[in-house]
Structure 1
Amino acid sequence: MSIIEVRNLTKDYGLSKGIFNINLEVKQGEIFGFVGTNGSGKTTTIRNLMGFIRPNSGNVYILDQEVNYNTTQIMKHIGYVPGEISFPDIGDGDVFIKSQAEMIGLKNMDYANYLIKKFGLDTTANLKHMSKGMKQKTAIVSAFMAKPDILILDEPSTGLDPLMREIFVEVLIEAKQRGSTIFMSSHVFEEVEKTCDRIALLHNGRIVDVVDMKKIRHNELKTYKIGFENEIDYQKYMNENIYLTSKNNKYLQTTVDVKDEQINEFMKELSQYKVKYIKEVKYTLKKYFLKKISEDKKND
């Protein structure tokens, strides 16, 4: 079942700025990542999802309702962390969180208090004097505290230190385990690699690919970095090897790509050489993304 559907969405600001013909769907209970370079259109897409701006063309549906016409009803099911946090001048964090709870009809504050403690959030601090990290934690608590069916998160870990990012990932996984559907933009590749089921790659306002993270985590093409004991073995391997992708003559080092079904043959062949070290280079979402961006530029 699709919880979020985006169909042919275009918001054109002119001068090739905006988003163009965006199509995607987010399934019930999945964490869907939205990754792109700065200015690629992530926030514009999310603002359309939230009904804050109207597209030039196309439609957004959440829970089978079109956002532009049913925004108030839909928002009851959504927890939202904006990309740019600007709090009203109403005092401290405690006042803000309680006012948000009252607005959505949340009476039981147990989970909110759990999150406040987990993030080490000082709710007595004045909203206007909070650091970026404190503001971010306050926004996260407000978005998650009602355990909403849907979470829409625009760069939610921005401003958090590494420890708080790990805690945020824990809270995100908890939400998924409860059955929440999560749409999250992020520039932190490691974060989306850890948490997301599928990821859309955005470049220049267009989706260049939607990838299942299983494809990244279990990539059938393995990359190895090999260092040799002496130049004779190094040169011999260079001349005879069919897996070679790059080399470094200074350090007698090479990089090879080997398919899963070729691993045994590769290791058997390598055993004939004096090798100082062999190290698998992990295939990452970032590498996949950069490859897709490069392909996209060639097609322009």
Structure 2
Amino acid sequence: MAFLKVTNLTKEFGKFRALDGVNLEVNRGEVFGFIGPNGAGKSTTIRVLLGILKATKGEVQIFDMDAWNDAVDIHKRVAYVPGDVNLWPNLTGGEVIDLFVKLRGGNNTNTREELIKRFNLDPTKKCRTYSKGNRQKVALIAAFSSDADLYILDEPTSGLDPLMENVFQECVMEVKQQGKSVLLSSHILSEVEKLCDRVGIIREGRIIETGSLSELRHLTRTQMYVETKEPVNELANMLGVHELEEKENGLSFQVDSEQMDHVMKHVSQFGILKLESAPPTLEDLFMRHYEGSNKSTGAGGEK
């Protein structure tokens, strides 16, 4: 069951087309990673989902309701955390959390107190005294204290230290286990890789790849290091071999996943003494999509 479905979403600002036919789905109980460089259209998409911007063309359905026309009803079941949280300076963190939870009709003080401890937040301080990281904590605690069905998180760990990032990741996995859904926009690729069931890559306002990490890894290369009894011949000319370098005792190179079997059979003829491999990561995948193109990463664009 799709909690969120975007079909052919287009958003234009005058003559500039920020989104060009975006399609994506987030199913119940799924964590969906939404990645791309600054200017690719991530934040514009999220603003359309939240009913802040109206789509130029296309459909956005959340819980089978229209994101623009039914925004008030949708918001009752959605929790949102932006990447740069602004809070009321004269309220304490605890007061802001209570306000957000009460606005949603919730009153689960046990969850609130538990999250305040886990995120190590002092709720008695005025918001004007908080660092960026502490402002993010307030927003995250308010979001996870609410009984939402869909969590829309736009760079939610911006400003958090690694320990707090781990707490955030635990919270995401907990809501997933409860059958909730999460749309996670992040530039921290290790975070996306750890949490997400599926990933959508957006570039210049278009989704260029969608799928599980295992499905997308056909686009990546595995890093290899090998030492052999005899020098390896003809490796540089083999299909699927890249970035070949001679090291002191062996060879370092990258292999396209689909050519791995063929390449390793060739190398094994020379008597393998040592073999190391690093599995392809989401970062590898991401960089290969954007290598050689700087058009999407210019300053001043929307995320």
TM-score, normalization: structure 1? 0.87
Corresponding residue for residue 255 of structure 1: 253
* Cα displacement (A) at 1:65: 0.4
1:83-94 matches, cutoff 5 A: 83-94=83-94
**In 1, are the aligned partners of 2:221 and 2:284 still within 8 Å (CA)?**
no
Alpha-carbon spacing, 1:65–1:209, altered in 2? closer, same or farther (3 Å): same
Alpha-carbon spacing, 1:270–1:170, altered in 2? closer, same or farther (3 Å): farther
What fraction of aligned residue pairs are identical, expressed as a percent?
32
Q: How many residues align?
A: 292
Alpha-carbon spacing, 1:297–1:127, altered in 2? closer, same or farther (3 Å): closer
Corresponding residue for residue 298 of structure 2: none
TM-score, normalization: structure 2? 0.86
Alpha-carbon spacing, 1:56–1:216, altered in 2? closer, same or farther (3 Å): closer
Q: Quick check: 1:293 aligned with 2:290?
A: yes
Q: Aligned with 1:286: secondary structure?
A: helix
Q: Aligned with 1:40: secondary structure?
A: coil
1:25-80 deviations in Å (ceiling 9; x for gaps):
11111001100001111111001100011122222110000011111111111111
RMSD value over aligned CA atoms?
2.8
* Distance in 1 separating the partners of 2:190 and 2:290: 18
Alpha-carbon spacing, 1:10–1:244, altered in 2? closer, same or farther (3 Å): closer
* Distance in 1 separating the partners of 2:50 and 2:287: 29
Alpha-carbon spacing, 1:249–1:107, altered in 2? closer, same or farther (3 Å): closer
* Distance in 2 separating the partners of 1:214 and 1:240: 27
* Cα displacement (A) at 1:130: 0.6
> Could you list the runs of 5+ residues in structure 1 that have no partner in the other structure?
none
> Could you list the runs of 5+ residues in structure 2 that have no partner in the other structure?
296-303
Alpha-carbon spacing, 1:29–1:132, altered in 2? closer, same or farther (3 Å): same
* Distance in 2 separating the partners of 1:131 and 1:10: 36
**In 2, are the aligned partners of 1:244 and 1:254 still within 8 Å (CA)?**
no
Q: Aligned with 2:200: secondary structure?
A: strand
Alpha-carbon spacing, 1:141–1:239, altered in 2? closer, same or farther (3 Å): closer
Q: Quick check: 1:284 aligned with 2:278?
A: no
Corresponding residue for residue 161 of structure 2: 161
Alpha-carbon spacing, 1:190–1:22, altered in 2? closer, same or farther (3 Å): same
1:1-300 matches, cutoff 5 A: 1-14=1-14, 16=16, 18-216=18-216, 223-228=222-227, 233-234=230-231, 236=233, 238=235, 244-249=241-246, 251=248, 252-257=250-255, 259=259, 261-262=261-262, 265=265, 268-271=268-271, 275=273, 277-294=274-291
**In 2, are the aligned partners of 1:157 and 1:168 still within 8 Å (CA)?**
yes
* Distance in 1 separating the partners of 2:284 and 2:236: 27
Tell me which protein shows more helix as a share of its residues.
1
**In 1, are the aligned partners of 2:7 and 2:22 still within 8 Å (CA)?**
yes
**In 1, are the aligned partners of 2:63 and 2:74 still within 8 Å (CA)?**
yes
Corresponding residue for residue 299 of structure 2: none
